[in-house]
């Protein structure tokens, strides 16, 4: 396999002493689509905000983020700013708040083109129009003179994507890019991201809580829980036959359109970062927890070729249905420390 | 046969109109001629995207808003005007659960006191009895007395939504209208709350209107489903039939667009364009500009919602007419 485009090594992040990311190792190869899946508080967004130096100063970040052999965490800030929007483009969940409401689209796209591509004057206008065409905005020439509030959420997200690819990035980091959009518009945006990736040969990191979105879009998936990657592997086998009980639990908790069956919820809530349980962070909610899980926190280990899992009981048969939960929820299981 | 819990006949509600400093304000027909019935003890799912009018329909069903046309009956009697004593009395029997539990709770008051509040408003019981009933309601949603003593910010998102459900249940209502009740919750917690609602519905014989953009969640909880597009129902029927065998092209697109792990990169119907502005409703069938199978007739003539013999109704010129289907 070719050398990775970006390699995250031993990344940790803490806010006021509370750990948010607790040792993440992750590589993104040229042209591949990697999905980062997890629930709120899993550290999936913080990992990439930290990697791109977008966290506030109070965040304590350690580890290495290597791009072309340079460590983004150690570079002077102006050099990191040249990478952001240049080699690495970014889009976020809420396009309305990421765009400047008082500037026309022409001006906002133009700034990126001037800064990262060194374009000016007529070249900017032509390239801005080409980008809006590329992301499927009809009547691009006229739309350049629009303000964000004059366009729909889906169109604003297309503008965000145009700005993110304006610097011709090798990697696009998309954090919940379709979460704020209606499902028919979500399908359009996912289709656009896949088409752009094919045409531009760009790698994609898709951060999402939505397993379906990630399964349809990504080649490889990393599942995060409580600040760590608990399972990683190619998307299809990972979702067909997960090796970590948390991944199995997430899939079982998803309702389907095929049948109205009682959902298998994961009991309890994610641990408080200030009061992490001993051993495996998922053990208090895990149907398969055993004494071995309360010892050292299990490391991410290769199980099959290309498959990684951080479970102290790697030989579990997760194809078997988990024990059914009781009909009434148990209050004690959800106690917050 | 008992009267349905809720019966909506050709209800319509429009906003806007009139003039402002800046000229005429467009009229938005949020709900445009909707007929629906909710039998007692059953659950009706209402699905649609933003601007479909599904939340407005929920407020009309509860009598929080008065329709401009058509009428709403609750338990066989006309819906009283908002604010009247009869309306307030009906509120005890019909409660609402919203999407955002943090916005629905007062952050300065312990949650058990907030759960007891509807009893005080309706003048039910002495303070000690209210307190006991609040703890019962919290226990019914899986929260302890100790958790009842906490403030909203000391609870997780899933626990706060349980508090909101407990507060809605404390007057022992017959109807619960839930507007996106689990949309703000993580998958593992969402499953806990959906299971809770299914259990409560079974245990109390609640009738429920479940409004959501999430077809999968609706499938788990609803007996019947109505699909809305720009203020009108385009398809209505048994949940299993509508979501497994959708007939309207819009429902087909919705079902195929909802991605799921395990169903690998299957054929997706990707609609072109975006939902039109509700203030500029297209002529004919409102869906025709985005519809992959539209014909000339769809551009001029609005299709009526026609039930097939199996009770599955569709508003589409291109769906096989009921007579042929029966033959």
Is A275 part of the contact surface with chain B (CB cutoff 8 Å)? no
Of A212, A267, A335, the CB nearest to B259: A212
ipTM confidence:
0.81
Number of domains in chain A: 2
SS3 B13: strand
Please say whether the beta carbons of A171 and A203 come within 8 A: yes
Task: Give chain A's length.
Answer: 337
Interface test with A, best of B190, B261, B267, B276 (most A CBs within 10 A): B261
Is A78 part of the contact surface with chain B (CB cutoff 8 Å)? no
Would residue A194 count as lying in a domain?
A: no
The shortest C-alpha distance from A246 to chain B (Å) reads 10
| Helix, strand, coil tally for chain A in percent (to 5) | 35, 20, 45
Interface test with B, best of A182, A282, A333 (most B CBs within 10 A): A182
* Beta strands, E only, A68-179: 70-71, 88-91, 171-175
Positions in chain B short of pLDDT 50: 322-323, 326-327
Burial class (CB in 10 A: 0-12, 13-18, 19+), A319: exposed
Would residue B130 count as lying in a domain?
A: no
Give me the phi and psi of B188, to 5 degrees please.
Answer: -70, -35
Would residue A124 count as lying in a domain?
A: yes
Residue with tokens 């390699």: A7
Q: How many helices (H) and strands (E) does chain A have?
A: 11, 12
Q: What is the pLDDT of residue A229?
A: 98
* Closest alpha carbon to B55 in B170, B210, B244, B239: B210
Would residue A218 count as lying in a domain?
A: no
Please say whether the beta carbons of A182 and B253 come within 8 A: no
Would residue B168 count as lying in a domain?
A: no
Would residue A120 count as lying in a domain?
A: yes
Residue with tokens 């997780």: B156
Is A187 part of the contact surface with chain B (CB cutoff 8 Å)? yes
Please say whether the beta carbons of B95 and B176 come within 8 A: yes
* Closest alpha carbon to A13 in A23, A26, A25: A23
CA distance B317 to B294: 9
Would residue B129 count as lying in a domain?
A: no
> Can you say whether the dihedral through the CA atoms of A232, A237, A240, A244 is positive or negative?
negative
CB contacts of B290 in chain A (<8 Å) are: 184
CB contacts of A257 in chain B (<8 Å) are: 215-216, 219, 243-244, 255, 258, 260
Q: What is the pLDDT of residue B186?
A: 86
Please say whether the beta carbons of A181 and A154 come within 8 A: yes
Would residue B196 count as lying in a domain?
A: yes
**DSSP characters over B23-67:** EEPPEEEEEEEEEEEE-TT-EEEEE--TTSSHHHHHHHHHTSS--
Q: State whether B219 and A261 contact (CB < 8 Å).
A: no
Number of domains in chain B: 1
Would residue B305 count as lying in a domain?
A: yes
* Closest alpha carbon to B248 in B214, B213, B276, B290: B290
Q: How many helices (H) and strands (E) does chain B have?
A: 13, 14
Of B186, B191, B275, the CB nearest to A209: B186
Burial class (CB in 10 A: 0-12, 13-18, 19+), B279: middle
The shortest C-alpha distance from B132 to chain A (Å) reads 17
Instruction: Out of A124, A142, A165, pick the residue that ends a domain.
Output: A165
First to last CA, chain A: 45
CA distance A30 to A160: 22
Is A190 part of the contact surface with chain B (CB cutoff 8 Å)? yes
Q: What is the pLDDT of residue B327?
A: 46
Of B194, B260, B274, the CB nearest to A263: B194
Would residue B131 count as lying in a domain?
A: no
Tokens encoding A5: 């485009």
Beta pairing partners, B52: none
CA distance B65 to B56: 8
Would residue A142 count as lying in a domain?
A: yes
Task: Give chain B's length.
Answer: 327
- Pairing relation of β-strands B224-229 and B43-47? parallel
Please say whether the beta carbons of B289 and B282 come within 8 A: yes
CB contacts of B261 in chain A (<8 Å) are: 211-212, 214-215, 239, 251, 254
Q: State whether A257 and B243 contact (CB < 8 Å).
A: yes
Burial class (CB in 10 A: 0-12, 13-18, 19+), B178: buried
CA distance A11 to B279: 50
CB contacts of B156 in chain A (<8 Å) are: 269, 334, 336
Q: What is the pLDDT of residue A200?
A: 92
Q: Which residues contact B274 (CB under 8 A, 6 or more apart)?
A: A152, A154, A155, A185, B290
Q: What is the pLDDT of residue B104?
A: 86
Burial class (CB in 10 A: 0-12, 13-18, 19+), B2: exposed
Positions in chain A short of pLDDT 70: 1, 320-337
Would residue B141 count as lying in a domain?
A: no
SS3 A219: coil
CB contacts of B194 in chain A (<8 Å) are: 255, 263
Q: Could you read off the pLDDT of A282-320 as tens digits, one per residue?
A: 999 999 999 999 999 999 999 989 999 999 998 888 876
Would residue B282 count as lying in a domain?
A: yes
Q: Could you read off the pLDDT of B196-236 as tens digits, one per residue?
A: 999 999 999 999 999 999 999 999 999 999 999 999 999 99
Would residue A204 count as lying in a domain?
A: no
* Closest alpha carbon to B200 in B226, B224, B168: B168
Range of the structural domain that residue B24 is part of: 6-93+173-259+266-326
CB contacts of A327 in chain B (<8 Å) are: 195, 199
Q: What is the pLDDT of residue B266?
A: 57
Range of the structural domain that residue A283 is part of: 241-334
CATH of the domain at B225: 3.40.50.300
Q: State whether B216 and A254 contact (CB < 8 Å).
A: yes
Half-sphere exposure of A122 (CA within 13 A, CB side): 0
């Amino acid at each position: 396999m070719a050398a990775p485009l970006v390699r995250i090594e031993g990344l940790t992040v803490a806010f006021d002493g509370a750990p948010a990311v607790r040792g993440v190792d992750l590589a993104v190869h040229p042209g591949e689509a990697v999905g980062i899946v997890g629930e709120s508080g899993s550290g999936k967004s913080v990992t990439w905000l930290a990697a791109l130096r977008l966290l506030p100063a109070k965040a304590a970040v350690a580890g290495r983020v290597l791009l072309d052999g340079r460590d983004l965490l150690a570079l002077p800030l102006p050099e990191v700013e040249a990478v952001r929007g240049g080699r690495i483009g970014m889009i976020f969940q809420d396009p309305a708040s990421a765009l400047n409401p008082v500037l026309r689209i022409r001006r906002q796209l133009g700034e990126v083109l001037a800064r990262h591509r060194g374009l000016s004057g007529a070249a900017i206008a032509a390239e801005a129009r080409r980008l809006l065409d590329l992301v499927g905005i009809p009547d691009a020439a006229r739309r350049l003179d629009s303000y964000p509030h004059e366009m729909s959420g889906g169109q604003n997200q297309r503008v965000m994507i145009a700005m993110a690819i304006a610097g011709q990035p090798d990697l696009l980091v998309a954090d919940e890019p379709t979460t704020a959009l209606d499902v028919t518009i979500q399908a359009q945006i996912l289709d656009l991201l896949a088409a752009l990736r094919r045409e531009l040969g760009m790698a994609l990191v898709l951060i999402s809580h939505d397993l379906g979105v990630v399964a349809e879009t990504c080649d490889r998936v990393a599942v995060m829980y409580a600040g760590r990657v608990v399972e990683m592997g190619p998307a299809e086998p990972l979702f067909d036959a997960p090796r970590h009980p948390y991944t199995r639990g997430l899939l079982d908790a998803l309702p389907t359109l095929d049948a109205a069956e009682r959902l298998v919820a994961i009991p309890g809530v994610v641990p408080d970062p200030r009061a992490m349980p001993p051993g495996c962070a998922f053990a208090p909610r895990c149907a398969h927890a055993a004494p071995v899980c309360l010892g050292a926190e299990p490391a991410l280990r290769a199980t099959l070729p290309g498959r990684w899992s951080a479970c102290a009981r790697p030989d579990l048969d997760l194809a078997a249905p988990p024990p059914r939960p009781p009909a009434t929820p148990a209050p004690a299981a959800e106690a917050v420390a | 046969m008992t009267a349905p819990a809720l019966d909506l006949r050709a209800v319509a509600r429009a906003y806007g109109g009139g003039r402002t400093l800046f000229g005429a304000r467009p009229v938005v027909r949020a709900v445009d001629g909707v007929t629906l019935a909710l039998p007692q003890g059953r659950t009706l799912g209402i699905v649609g995207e933003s601007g479909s009018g599904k939340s407005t329909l929920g407020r009309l069903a509860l009598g929080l808003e008065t329709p401009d046309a058509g009428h709403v009956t609750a338990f066989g009697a006309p819906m009283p005007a908002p604010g009247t004593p009869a309306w307030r009395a009906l509120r005890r029997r019909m409660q609402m659960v919203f999407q955002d539990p943090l916005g629905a709770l007062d952050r300065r008051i312990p949650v058990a006191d907030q759960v007891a509040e509807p009893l005080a408003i309706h003048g039910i019981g002495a303070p000690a009895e209210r307190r006991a009933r609040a703890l019962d309601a919290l226990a019914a949603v899986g929260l302890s007395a100790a958790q009842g003593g906490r403030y909203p910010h000391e609870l997780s998102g899933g626990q706060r939504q349980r508090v909101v459900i407990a507060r809605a249940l404390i007057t022992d209502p017959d109807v619960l209208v839930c507007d996106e009740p689990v949309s703000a919750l993580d998958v593992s917690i969402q499953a806990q709350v959906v299971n809770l609602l299914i259990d409560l519905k079974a245990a109390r014989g609640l009738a429920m209107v479940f409004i959501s953009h999430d077809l999968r969640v609706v499938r788990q909880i609803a007996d019947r489903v109505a699909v809305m597009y720009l203020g009108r129902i385009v398809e209505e029927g048994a949940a299993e039939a509508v979501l497994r065998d959708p007939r309207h092209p819009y429902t087909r697109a919705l079902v195929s667009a909802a991605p799921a792990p395990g169903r690998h990169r299957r054929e997706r119907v990707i609609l072109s364009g975006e939902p039109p502005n509700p203030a500029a409703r297209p002529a004919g069938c409102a869906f025709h500009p985005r519809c992959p199978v539209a014909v000339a007739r769809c551009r001029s003539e609005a299709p009526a919602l026609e039930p097939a013999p199996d009770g599955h109704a569709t508003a589409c010129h291109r769906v096989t007419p009921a007579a042929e289907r029966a033959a």
